[in-house]
Amino acid sequence: MISLTHRKNQKIFVLGLGLSGRSTVNSLIKGGAEVYAWDDNQNIRKTYSDTNNIITDPDEINIIDYDAIILSPGINFNNLSPHRIVNLAKNYKIPILGDIQLFMDELKERNLSNKVIMVTGTNGKSTTVMLIYHLLKKLRNDVQVGGNIGSRSVLEFDISNEDTIFIIEISSYQIELCQNIEPNIAILLNISPDHLDRHGSFKNYINIKFDLFSGQGKDDYAIFGLDGGVISETIGLKEIQAKTIFIDNPSCKDSLKENENYDGEKTIYFEKNKEKYKYLLEYEGFLNNTTNIENIAAAVACMEALDFRYQNYVSYFKTFKNLKHRAEHVLTYNKIDFINDSKATNAFASRLAIQSYKNIFWILGGIKKYGGISEIKDSFYNIKKAYLIGHAAESFSDFLISCGIENEICHTLDIAFIRAIRDARAISSKATVLLSPACASFDQYRNFEERGNKFCNLINNMKSNEYED
């Protein structure tokens, strides 16, 4: 647990007592701050061990007495109806921060020289973060991972060794709460419409993602996934001070490989200091899945920025295992591949999966995001049939019918699974039963992990049960 010495003797209010909130409270107290805190959820407040008597209703405080407000990322900040304490803090110009800003400020306060890598994007953040971590660990570097991934707050990092490299997955919610961050390497993988209920518009969402680069200097690196659209068009409108590396998005027509001899789907392309590079990947397993090419290219670009040579780590790609719930191969049984892609909570994430497999029996649905699945209709060519669950079932069905895709409204994952197996068994060639929902999970599940685990349980029970329609 980091002691936040730069906030010593300050009066701080922490709103939200989840993972990051509790770590923030502990780090502030350890650093000598006067801390008060609150969570709107009564059940969370009841489970909080308030040994320091810090639980205080924000309606009962005088906001001008506080040096800063620290928000958990899930609390509304800049949309049309932010939390009441946010409006008060803005009116009185009280700084509103998150735990990642506190972490970066503490490194600066202690004049520490640790390398900090931050990865953002609508899709692929977690895989890219863990892939970079894997490569660096194999090269015997001291590396720690945190942020919007797993169960570790950045304030739980160990900062005792200046050789430690920190890799932080950072979401748009977290970038909003960082007024001045200066990552040594910042990576933007892709941008597609997401979280618009929080950010108000796609334009706002884009600008927040690009804020990750606003504090960087000329000795830092900014890595961008070229998409021939949003990112490619926005880069020219921003003042990027850092050195740039551009990586190829495999689904982009206006790409770095446009004027090269195309070497196939397992070739990665990037541009560093206006010089173009391409590397051929030769291993199977993780690399055999084209959904990962963009993540691999971003990892290679990051390793280049850290001055590691490709030939020294390329062999380690073959030992990396896909993250759970992201294009996860669960089982092959009776010529059917079962793929758990529950982490695909928007259409653009699902597009990567449906482009990567053949003879797909696609299970999708839940709470649909902006635009539904209309923007990926050009990727439907591998789909044999779709099975629709959750709130989006009826609207998705109508759209798929208009695209000539056969589908069934199943409502629940259990029914969809049974019917997908029935139809996959009926074809003579190898088939894929793919859970890639293109939707949020909250209509039927607590999160995408619970949804993915349900799918895996159905698969694991399959051998001992006869599924009949």
What pLDDT does 250 receive? Answer: 56
What pLDDT does 222 receive? Answer: 96
| Euclidean distance between CA atoms 309 and 305, whole angstroms | 10
Where residue 46 falls (left for φ over 0; alpha for ψ -120 to 50; beta otherwise) is alpha
Select from 334, 377, 328, 333 the least CA-distant residue to 357.
328
What is the pLDDT confidence band of residue 468, given thresholds at 50, 70 and 90? Answer: very low
Mean pLDDT, the chain, rounded, equals 89
Q: What is the pLDDT of residues 160-212, one digit of tens each?
A: 999 999 999 999 999 999 988 999 999 999 888 766 667 778 888 999 999 99
Are 423 and 313 within 8 A, CB to CB?
no
Half-sphere exposure in the Cβ direction for 274 (13 Å, CA): 0
What is the pLDDT confidence band of residue 79, given thresholds at 50, 70 and 90? Answer: low
- More confident of the two residues 217 and 49: 217
First to last CA, the chain: 53
Highest mean pLDDT among 242-251, 274-283, 310-319: 310-319
> What's this model's pTM, rounded to 2 decimal places?
0.85
What is the pLDDT confidence band of residue 47, given thresholds at 50, 70 and 90? Answer: confident
Q: What is the pLDDT of residues 331-369, one digit of tens each?
A: 999 899 999 999 999 998 898 889 889 999 999 999 998
- Looking at the DSSP bridge assignments, the partners of residue 328 are 340
Tell me the CA distances in angstroms from 76 to 23, 80, 197, 283, 359, one per residue in order.
20, 9, 10, 44, 42
Report whether CATH 3.40.1190.10 matches the domain 100-319: yes
| Euclidean distance between CA atoms 198 and 442, whole angstroms | 16
Report whether CATH 3.40.50.360 matches the domain 328-462: no
| Euclidean distance between CA atoms 460 and 453, whole angstroms | 10
| Euclidean distance between CA atoms 418 and 466, whole angstroms | 9
What is the pLDDT confidence band of residue 469, given thresholds at 50, 70 and 90? Answer: very low
Report whether CATH 3.40.50.720 matches the domain 5-97: yes
Residue spans per domain, the chain: 5-97, 100-319, 328-462
